Amino acid sequence: MEKNKIRFATVGTSGITEQFLGEAAKNSDFELRAVYSRDRDRAEQFARQQGAEVYYDNLDAMAEDSAIDAVYLASPNAMHCAQAMRFMASGKHVLCEKSLCSNLFEARRMFEAAEQNGVILMEAMRSLHDPGFDALKEGISKIGKIRRVSFRYCQYSSRYDAFKNGARQNIFDPGCSAGALMDIGVYCVEPMAALFGEPKSLQAVSVMLDGGIDGAGTVLADYGDMTAELVYSKITESHLPSEVQGEAGVLLIDEIACPEKIGIRYNDGRTERFDTGPGGNNMRFELQAFADAVRGQKSIAKYREISMLSMKLMDRVRDLCGIRFPADGEME
C-alpha cells in the first residue's frame, strides 16, 4: 500500500518558493495542500498556478487547518521566528528557509518550541544535504593537515540596481533581517561550522550600504592551526572557486552553495575528481531529508547544532560590523 503523503503548505510566493515547489512536485512524499500570501489575490493566483487546493491570506487560519502536516517558510528572515512558532504550536512541522531567523535568541526559542510540540524544525540549508557535501568531506580527508580554508560566494543581486535607484528591497532592508551576510554569506558560514566547528576567534569587515545594511563582507576565522576566510557579496560577482588547502594538496569546489564540481590537486601533480551525482536544483535533497525526519526515519540533531552555531557566528559578525536588526532588541 502506498504510504501517505506529507501535506504541505507554503508561506511566500517568490522565486525561491517556485523553485522549491518545482522540485517538490517530483517527490513522492510531497503533496501541496495550501499556499499563503498577505495579498489575497496573489494567494489565489499562486494557488492556481501551483495546483494547491486551498489558499490563505490569514496565517492563523492556515495554522489551524488540520489537513496540513508541514509548512515550508520562505518569508523574510524577520518573520521566520513568529511564523514558525505559530505553526509549531498547532502541531505543524516546519522547513524554514535560510537564514533560520534573525539571531541566536530566536533560534533557541524556535528549537525549544519544536521540542515542546513534538515537531520537526529544520533549516533549508540545501548545500549540507547535497551529495556534493559528502564528496567535499571525503576530499578533505585526503589532503593532509588542513591549514587554510577559503569559501566564497559573490553574486550580483538582481534587486541591487532598483535599490540604488531608491526602491525599497526586502533583501537590503535591516527590518527584514536581511543583507549580504544573512542572505548569501550564510552559504559560507554554515559549511565552515559543519566541517570545522566553532573557531577560537573571528574578525570581520563589511561593505555597508545606505540604510545600515551590508552589501558585502569578509570574515576571518582563527582555528589555531588553520584559518578560514569567508568572502561574500550581493553587489559584485566572483568566478573563483572555493578552496580547502591541506599540506598534501588543495581541494577545489566550484560553488559552495551547490557543490557539483569537486576535485583535488595533490602536491605531487596528481589530480582527482569526485562524483557528486546528476547536479541540478539541490533543493530536492533538503526536502527529502526533511520528509525522512518527519517520518521518523532520520535524525536531524546535527543540523540543529549547525544552525545554532552558525547563528551564533553571524551574530558575532554583525556585532563586529555594526549591523543591527530590530529583532535584536529582544535580546537586551
Q: Dump pLDDT digits (tens) for 154-192.
A: 999 999 999 999 999 999 999 999 999 999 999 999 999
Please state, in angstroms and rounded to a whole number, the distance separating the CA atoms of residues 151 and 244. 8
Q: Which helix (H) or strand (E) holds 242?
A: strand 242-246
Q: Dump pLDDT digits (tens) for 85-113.
A: 999 999 999 999 999 999 999 999 999 99
Using a pLDDT cut of 90, give the percent of the chain over it: 95
50 pLDDT above the threshold of 90: yes
The CATH class for the domain spanning 128-283+312-331 reads alpha beta
6-127 maps to which CATH number? Answer: 3.40.50.720
Give pLDDT, residue 331: 63
Q: Which residues contact 195 (CB under 8 A, 6 or more apart)?
A: 136, 137, 140, 149
1 pLDDT above the threshold of 80: no
The answer to whether 225 and 147 are in contact (CB under 8 A) is: yes
Backbone angles phi, psi at 299, to 5 degrees: -90, 135
Report the amino acid identity of residue 47. Answer: A
What is the layout of strands, in order, in the sheet containing 262-266? 201-209, 213-222, 227-233, 146-154, 242-246, 249-253, 262-266, 271-274
Please state, in angstroms and rounded to a whole number, the distance separating the CA atoms of residues 330 and 207. 26
Give pLDDT, residue 279: 76
DSSP state letter for 257? T
Nearest to 300 by CA among 311, 312, 310, 288: 288
Pairing mode of beta strands 30-36, 6-11: parallel
Structural domain spans, the chain: 6-127, 128-283+312-331
DSSP state letter for 330? G
Please state, in angstroms and rounded to a whole number, the distance separating the CA atoms of residues 157 and 108. 30
330 pLDDT above the threshold of 80: no
217 pLDDT above the threshold of 60: yes
296 pLDDT above the threshold of 70: yes
Q: Which residues contact 301 (CB under 8 A, 6 or more apart)?
A: none
pTM: 0.96
Q: Which residues of 126-160 are buried (b: 16+ CB within 10 A; e: fewer)?
A: bbbbbbbbebbeebbeebeebeebbbbbbbebeeb
Q: Which residues of 291-329 are buried (b: 16+ CB within 10 A; e: fewer)?
A: bebbeeeeebeebbebbbbbbbbbbbbbeebebebebbe
Please state, in angstroms and rounded to a whole number, the distance separating the CA atoms of residues 207 and 180. 9
Please, which pLDDT band fits residue 133 given cuts at 50, 70 and 90? very high
Give pLDDT, residue 138: 97
Give pLDDT, residue 286: 97
Q: pLDDT: is 4 or 117 the higher one?
A: 117
Cell numbers linked to 152: 566564497
Q: Dump pLDDT digits (tens) for 233-285.
A: 999 999 999 999 999 999 999 999 999 999 999 999 999 999 887 778 899 99
Give pLDDT, residue 40: 96
Q: Dump pLDDT digits (tens) for 54-72.
A: 999 999 999 999 999 999 9
Give pLDDT, residue 332: 53
The answer to whether 98 and 71 are in contact (CB under 8 A) is: no
Please state, in angstroms and rounded to a whole number, the distance separating the CA atoms of residues 46 and 318. 35
